[in-house]
Amino acid sequence: METHPHFFGYGSLVNRDTHHFTPVHKSRISGWRRVWHRAPNRPVAFLSVIADPDSLIEGVIAPVPNDDWAALDAREFSYARVPVTPAVTHGAPDVRNISIYAIPPGTAAPPDMEHPILLSYVDAVIQGYLREFGEDGAIRFVQTTQGWDTPIKNDRSAPIYPRARQLSPMEQECVDDLLVKARARVVA
């Protein structure tokens, strides 16, 4: 069994209100890029990562509860767990093993109108980046994520994403502004 395993979160796991994993530590990972992908067994697109030697993204690390991956693997059921310890910089004590979740390249597909991104998911992710890294961090999140040309389904009034979060008016305005700047296409 791994001792002190941690995960690197780069999407909704950055938002502490979507989970109970503690303690959470801000971190960075080099060699990986965030992308919008879909898995064949999911009806909508989610964030994933692909190897990219020129990329650096921010996120968080947190310990896997009781050194047991079962609950986290269930949450991230379409993803493969990939060891990334040397690529992560952080200030957390006693961390020996860090893994990241990625949709396996052979199963990842580009999102489309039938498999859009959910705005409720984008809201939860960007809210996490605003709280952890401030507005500049939310801007960096958008700039370091590939695939904003994917349709985004506006489900804010009736969220489909199971861990949807309520945004403050300021957070919602920030998300909406970032999506405009990214030239994202929000559809009904």
pLDDT tens for each residue of 42-61:
899 999 999 999 999 999 99
Q: In this predicted model, what pLDDT tens digit does every residue of 130-145 receive, in sequence order?
A: 999 999 999 999 999 9
CATH at residue 125: 3.10.490.10
Identify the DSSP state of 186. E
The predicted pLDDT at position 41 comes to 85
> What's this model's pTM, rounded to 2 decimal places?
0.94
Report how far apart, in Å, the C-alpha atoms of 162 and of each of 108, 145, 165 are: 21, 22, 9
For the chain, the average pLDDT equals 94
Q: How far apart are CA 98 and CA 68, in angstroms?
A: 13
Residue 179 has pLDDT above 90, yes or no: yes
- Tell which wins on pLDDT, 11 or 71: 11
- Rounded mean pLDDT, 24-39: 96
Instruction: List residues bridging with 90 in a β-sheet.
Output: 27
CA atoms of 129 and 22, how far apart (whole Å): 17
Tell me which DSSP letter residue 65 carries. Answer: G
**pLDDT higher than threshold 60 for residue 17:** yes
Count of domains for the chain: 1
pLDDT tens-digit readout, 57-75: 999 999 998 888 998 898 8
pLDDT at 120 over 60: yes
**pLDDT, average across residues 138-162:** 96
Average of pLDDT values for 5-31? 95
Q: Residue 3 has what pLDDT?
A: 66
One-letter amino acid of 1: M
In this predicted structure, what is the pLDDT of residue 63? 93
Domain membership of residue 51 as a residue range: 5-187
